[in-house]
Amino acid sequence: MGKVLVLALAGILAALFGERLMEFRRKLNSSRELEPVELPNCHLIKGIERGAEDIDILPDGLAFISSGLKYPGLKSFAPDKPGEIFLMDLNDENPRAVELRISRGFDLASFNPHGISTYIDKDDSVYLFVANHPELKSTVEVFKFVEDENSLVHLKTIRHELLPSVNDIVALGPDHFYATNDHYFFDSILMYLELFLGLTWSNVVYYSPTEVKEVASGFYSVNGINISPDKKYVYIADLMAHRIHVMEKHANWSLTQSKVLELDTLVDNLSVDPYTGDIWGGCHPNGMKLLFYDPENPPGSEVIRIQNILSAKPTVTQVYAENGSVLQGSSVAVVYSGKLLIGTVFHRALYCEL
Give the residue numbers marked as catalytic.
114
Enumerate the known binding-site residues: 53-54, 116, 167-168, 223, 268-269
Distance CA 299, CA 328 (A): 5
Secondary structure of residue 10 in the 3-state scheme: helix
Q: Does residue 249 contact residue 227 with C-beta atoms inside 8 Å?
A: yes
Q: Which pLDDT tens digits describe the chain residue by residue (354 residues)?
A: 565 565 556 555 655 666 777 887 888 999 898 899 999 899 999 999 999 999 999 999 999 999 999 998 899 999 999 999 999 999 999 999 999 999 999 999 999 999 999 999 999 999 999 999 999 899 999 999 999 999 999 999 999 999 999 999 999 999 999 999 998 877 778 887 888 888 899 999 999 999 999 999 999 999 999 999 999 999 999 999 999 999 999 999 999 999 999 999 999 999 999 999 999 999 999 999 999 999 999 999 999 999 999 999 999 999 999 999 999 999 999 999 999 999 999 999 999 999
Residues 6+ apart with CB under 8 A from 100: 64, 84, 85, 86, 87, 145, 150, 151, 152
Residue ranges for the known binding site for Ca(2+) are 53-54, 116, 167-168, 223, 268-269
Which phi and psi angles does 24 have, rounded to 5°? Answer: -60, -45
Q: Which of 101, 59, 33 has the alpha carbon at shortest distance from 336? A: 59
Q: Which residues are registered as beta bridge partners of 129?
A: 117, 142
List, in order of start, the domains of the chain with CATH numbers: 32-353 (2.120.10.30)
Contact 53, 115 (CB under 8 A): yes
Does pTM top 0.85 for this prediction?
Answer: yes
Cβ(327)–Cβ(283) below 8 Å: no
